[in-house]
Protein backbone atom coordinates (compact mmCIF):
# COMPACT_ATOMS: atom_id res chain seq x y z
CA UNK A 1 0.00 0.00 0.00
CA UNK A 2 1.23 3.51 -0.72
CA UNK A 3 2.03 5.83 2.14
CA UNK A 4 -0.78 8.40 2.21
CA UNK A 5 -0.68 10.57 5.32
CA UNK A 6 -2.33 13.73 6.62
CA UNK A 7 -0.16 16.59 7.83
CA UNK A 8 -1.56 19.16 10.25
CA UNK A 9 -5.08 17.93 9.53
CA UNK A 10 -4.77 18.17 5.72
CA UNK A 11 -5.34 14.90 3.87
CA UNK A 12 -4.34 14.16 0.26
CA UNK A 13 -7.36 14.12 -2.08
CA UNK A 14 -7.64 12.16 -5.31
CA UNK A 15 -9.82 12.52 -8.40
CA UNK A 16 -11.43 9.66 -10.30
CA UNK A 17 -9.53 6.94 -12.15
CA UNK A 18 -6.14 7.62 -10.52
CA UNK A 19 -3.36 5.09 -10.06
CA UNK A 20 -1.07 5.37 -7.04
CA UNK A 21 1.82 2.86 -7.02
CA UNK A 22 2.12 0.71 -3.91
CA UNK A 23 5.40 2.30 -2.84
CA UNK A 24 4.55 5.93 -3.65
CA UNK A 25 4.36 8.48 -0.82
CA UNK A 26 1.80 11.30 -0.81
CA UNK A 27 1.42 13.47 2.27
CA UNK A 28 -0.36 16.62 3.39
CA UNK A 29 -2.12 19.28 1.36
CA UNK A 30 -2.19 17.56 -2.03
CA UNK A 31 -5.22 17.73 -4.33
CA UNK A 32 -5.10 15.69 -7.52
CA UNK A 33 -7.48 15.71 -10.49
CA UNK A 34 -8.84 12.83 -12.58
CA UNK A 35 -6.91 10.23 -14.60
CA UNK A 36 -3.62 10.89 -12.81
CA UNK A 37 -0.92 8.32 -12.18
CA UNK A 38 1.72 8.41 -9.48
CA UNK A 39 4.37 5.80 -10.20
CA UNK A 40 6.78 3.66 -8.20
CA UNK A 41 9.00 5.38 -5.61
CA UNK A 42 7.48 8.80 -6.27
CA UNK A 43 7.25 11.25 -3.38
CA UNK A 44 4.72 14.11 -3.27
CA UNK A 45 5.14 16.16 -0.09
CA UNK A 46 2.45 18.72 0.60
CA UNK A 47 3.73 19.19 4.14
CA UNK A 48 5.22 22.69 4.04
CA UNK A 49 2.87 24.21 1.43
CA UNK A 50 0.13 23.02 -0.91
CA UNK A 51 0.44 21.00 -4.09
CA UNK A 52 -2.26 21.11 -6.76
CA UNK A 53 -2.24 18.62 -9.61
CA UNK A 54 -4.64 18.90 -12.57
CA UNK A 55 -6.25 16.18 -14.67
CA UNK A 56 -4.36 13.59 -16.71
CA UNK A 57 -1.02 14.14 -15.00
CA UNK A 58 1.57 11.38 -14.72
CA UNK A 59 4.41 11.60 -12.25
CA UNK A 60 6.84 8.87 -13.14
CA UNK A 61 9.07 6.59 -11.10
CA UNK A 62 11.33 8.23 -8.53
CA UNK A 63 10.12 11.79 -9.10
CA UNK A 64 9.89 14.21 -6.17
CA UNK A 65 7.30 16.99 -5.95
CA UNK A 66 7.78 19.42 -3.05
CA UNK A 67 7.42 23.10 -2.06
CA UNK A 68 9.11 25.79 -0.01
CA UNK A 69 7.88 26.35 3.53
CA UNK A 70 5.11 28.99 3.52
CA UNK A 71 6.56 30.63 0.36
CA UNK A 72 6.25 28.63 -2.84
CA UNK A 73 3.50 26.07 -3.46
CA UNK A 74 3.65 23.72 -6.43
CA UNK A 75 0.92 23.94 -9.06
CA UNK A 76 0.72 21.48 -11.94
CA UNK A 77 -1.80 21.96 -14.76
CA UNK A 78 -3.59 19.42 -16.96
CA UNK A 79 -2.01 16.93 -19.37
CA UNK A 80 1.43 17.10 -17.76
CA UNK A 81 4.10 14.37 -17.75
CA UNK A 82 6.90 14.48 -15.19
CA UNK A 83 9.68 12.07 -16.15
CA UNK A 84 11.52 9.50 -14.09
CA UNK A 85 13.64 10.94 -11.26
CA UNK A 86 12.67 14.54 -11.99
CA UNK A 87 12.53 17.10 -9.16
CA UNK A 88 9.75 19.71 -9.27
CA UNK A 89 9.99 22.17 -6.38
CA UNK A 90 7.89 25.22 -5.49
CA UNK A 91 6.99 26.13 -9.07
CA UNK A 92 4.14 26.35 -11.58
CA UNK A 93 3.67 24.05 -14.57
CA UNK A 94 0.88 25.11 -16.92
CA UNK A 95 -1.10 22.73 -19.18
CA UNK A 96 0.50 20.42 -21.76
CA UNK A 97 4.01 20.32 -20.31
CA UNK A 98 6.61 17.56 -20.46
CA UNK A 99 9.38 17.50 -17.85
CA UNK A 100 12.15 15.17 -19.02
CA UNK A 101 13.81 12.44 -17.02
CA UNK A 102 16.12 13.72 -14.31
CA UNK A 103 15.24 17.37 -14.89
CA UNK A 104 15.23 19.81 -11.98
CA UNK A 105 12.71 22.65 -11.81
CA UNK A 106 13.48 25.00 -8.91
CA UNK A 107 11.44 27.47 -6.86
CA UNK A 108 9.41 30.20 -8.56
CA UNK A 109 9.92 28.77 -12.05
CA UNK A 110 6.94 29.11 -14.37
CA UNK A 111 6.64 26.76 -17.32
CA UNK A 112 4.03 27.99 -19.74
CA UNK A 113 1.81 25.69 -21.82
CA UNK A 114 2.97 23.44 -24.65
CA UNK A 115 6.57 23.35 -23.44
CA UNK A 116 9.20 20.66 -22.96
CA UNK A 117 12.01 20.64 -20.42
CA UNK A 118 14.69 18.29 -21.74
CA UNK A 119 16.02 15.33 -19.79
CA UNK A 120 18.69 16.40 -17.30
CA UNK A 121 17.93 20.11 -17.65
CA UNK A 122 18.24 22.37 -14.59
CA UNK A 123 15.90 25.35 -14.45
CA UNK A 124 17.41 27.81 -12.02
CA UNK A 125 15.19 29.55 -9.47
CA UNK A 126 12.74 31.99 -11.07
CA UNK A 127 13.20 30.83 -14.68
CA UNK A 128 10.21 31.66 -16.91
CA UNK A 129 9.77 29.20 -19.79
CA UNK A 130 8.05 30.65 -22.84
CA UNK A 131 4.93 28.90 -24.11
CA UNK A 132 5.62 26.50 -26.96
CA UNK A 133 9.35 26.12 -26.37
CA UNK A 134 12.00 23.57 -25.46
CA UNK A 135 14.53 24.34 -22.73
CA UNK A 136 17.67 22.24 -22.23
CA UNK A 137 21.04 22.33 -20.51
CA UNK A 138 22.57 23.31 -17.19
CA UNK A 139 21.45 25.95 -16.56
CA UNK A 140 18.52 25.44 -18.92
CA UNK A 141 18.05 27.87 -21.80
CA UNK A 142 15.62 27.99 -24.69
CA UNK A 143 16.88 25.84 -27.56
CA UNK A 144 13.93 26.05 -29.97
CA UNK A 145 10.21 26.50 -30.49
CA UNK A 146 7.91 23.49 -30.51
CA UNK A 147 5.96 22.53 -33.62
CA UNK A 148 2.32 21.41 -33.41
CA UNK A 149 3.55 17.95 -34.46
CA UNK A 150 5.88 17.78 -31.45
CA UNK A 151 3.07 18.81 -29.11
CA UNK A 152 0.84 15.97 -30.33
CA UNK A 153 3.75 13.58 -31.01
CA UNK A 154 5.39 13.88 -27.59
CA UNK A 155 3.39 15.82 -24.98
CA UNK A 156 -0.02 14.36 -25.84
CA UNK A 157 1.32 10.91 -26.75
CA UNK A 158 3.14 10.42 -23.45
CA UNK A 159 0.21 11.70 -21.41
CA UNK A 160 -2.21 9.40 -23.24
CA UNK A 161 0.15 6.44 -22.90
CA UNK A 162 0.32 6.89 -19.13
CA UNK A 163 -3.47 6.91 -18.84
CA UNK A 164 -3.37 3.55 -20.63
CA UNK A 165 -0.54 2.20 -18.43
CA UNK A 166 -2.42 3.24 -15.28
CA UNK A 167 -5.51 1.37 -16.49
CA UNK A 168 -3.52 -1.86 -16.27
CA UNK A 169 -3.56 -1.39 -12.47
CA UNK A 170 -7.21 -0.39 -12.09
CA UNK A 171 -8.11 -3.36 -9.88
CA UNK A 172 -5.31 -2.53 -7.46
CA UNK A 173 -6.42 1.04 -6.72
CA UNK A 174 -10.03 0.26 -5.89
CA UNK A 175 -8.83 -1.00 -2.54
CA UNK A 176 -7.67 2.29 -1.02
CA UNK A 177 -8.43 5.39 -3.16
CA UNK A 178 -11.71 6.89 -2.12
| pLDDT bracket for residue 149 (50, 70, 90) | confident
Rounded to two decimals, the pTM is 0.95
The model's pLDDT over 121-146, given as tens digits with 9 standing for 90+, comes to 999 999 999 999 999 999 999 999 99
Q: Is residue 128 part of a domain?
A: yes
Q: Is residue 163 part of a domain?
A: yes
Q: Is residue 93 part of a domain?
A: yes
Name the residue range of residue 164's domain. 3-173
Q: How many domains does the chain have?
A: 1
Q: CATH code at 164?
A: 2.160.10.10
Mean residue pLDDT across the chain = 95
Q: What is the 3-state secondary structure (H, E, C) of the chain?
A: CCEEECECCECCECCCCCEECCCCEEEEEEEECCCCEECCCCEEEEEEEEEEECCCCEECCCCEEECECCCECEEECCCCEECCCCEEECCEECCCEEECCCCEECCCCEECCCEEECCCCEECCCCEECCCEEEECCCCEEEEECCHHHHHHHHHHHHHHHHHHHHCCHHHHCCCCC
Amino acid sequence: MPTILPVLGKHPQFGNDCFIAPNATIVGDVIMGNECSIWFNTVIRGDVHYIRIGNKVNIQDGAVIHCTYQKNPTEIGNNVSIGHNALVHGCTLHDNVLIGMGAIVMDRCVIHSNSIIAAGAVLLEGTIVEAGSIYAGVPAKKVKDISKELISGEIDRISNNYVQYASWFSDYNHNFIK
